[in-house]
Structure 1
Amino acid sequence: MNIKSVLESLLFAWGEPLNLNEISRILNMSSGNISNVLDEMMEQFSKDEDRGLTIQKFGNSYQLTTKKENYEYIQSLLQTTVNKSLSTAAMETLSIIAYKQPVTKVEIELIRGVKCSNVIKGLLDKGLIKEVGRLDKPGRPAIYSTTDEFLRHFGLNSINELPALSIESEEEKKAT
């Protein structure tokens, strides 16, 4: 079996991020060996400037994607944008969850200053956030965090790649 050929075919056919454990099960190989081969393939794909595809890692999953350098051409073909399905309210809520996770709905609403039940439901439906537990308080409020789909959607390998927050005081804002 040509492992690289099989892995490339699996990633292409699946289209979505494919979990390392699932690949391991399919190929009946250790996830460590598969991870090493995928890392090698990622390096090969990134070095070959003539290729239009690359392999990206999202948490414990891998996906065959187009190179970012070709985005404008793909965008022209599809006549769409990456975030068109997310409203301003959804982006604000998602940002709060990404930076403050794990976080409750009440904490999000305190920061945004408005109710966000419907926005949270929409983000859950899109798979961008998930419920990761419940607080041991009255009402047992849900605790939310981002998902691997969030990482994939925004082209991140890990949550640590989010830009650093810059909090300006009111005086600093007036001075600029």
Structure 2
Amino acid sequence: MTVENLHATDEDTERTAPALPDGIDLERALEAILMVADEPMSVMTLATAVGAPVTRVKAAVDALVADFDGADGSVRRGFELREVGGGWRIYVRPEYDSVVSDYVLAQNPTRLSQAALETLAVIAYKQPISRGAIASIRAVNVDSVVRTLLGRGLITEMFTDSETGAINYGTTELLLSQLGINSIDELPKISPLLSDGTEGFDADVR
């Protein structure tokens, strides 16, 4: 990207989104947005969200990374700001994964909702699959349901599409153990259960 393009991008960002209200800190505003983001957020997307120049947002993101990492003697957080697939997202630090997993499983013993079961089925049969593709099949927003399934450890982020930045999900070993099977291949064929053998699934799916 040339300097001229970068300047044009900054100006376009300031025109398309309102500036932050007086008294609102840019770094804290970005932190708040990143805390609720379900997908990696590019610097451009963050800049548009807060109505700030891309150069300022990039510097603020770098400052947040250093802050969370405990640079300059500050407290190292249990989470980190990680760049994945061309965007930024907050993740639990790897050393705390087991603690978080144990907590989630212990604190959420209730059964899955019908919406969660349906979403889990889509992922199991169509994996790897992006959140957008899941939503297209179910014709509803699946953000909260996907978060629930991730929290239960039943699905996992497999990879991030290099072109779109979309995270693709798949099932985990925990799901297999809960179902009492050794492989996803042991799931029953679903096509015979559908009225026309499609309904969001390819005709030859399982």
Q: TM-score normalised by the shorter chain: which range applies?
A: 0.3 to 0.5
Which protein, 1 or 2, shows the higher relative CO under an 8 Å CA cutoff with sep ≥ 6?
1
TM-score, length-scaled by structure 2: 0.40
Structure 1 length as normaliser, TM-score? 0.47
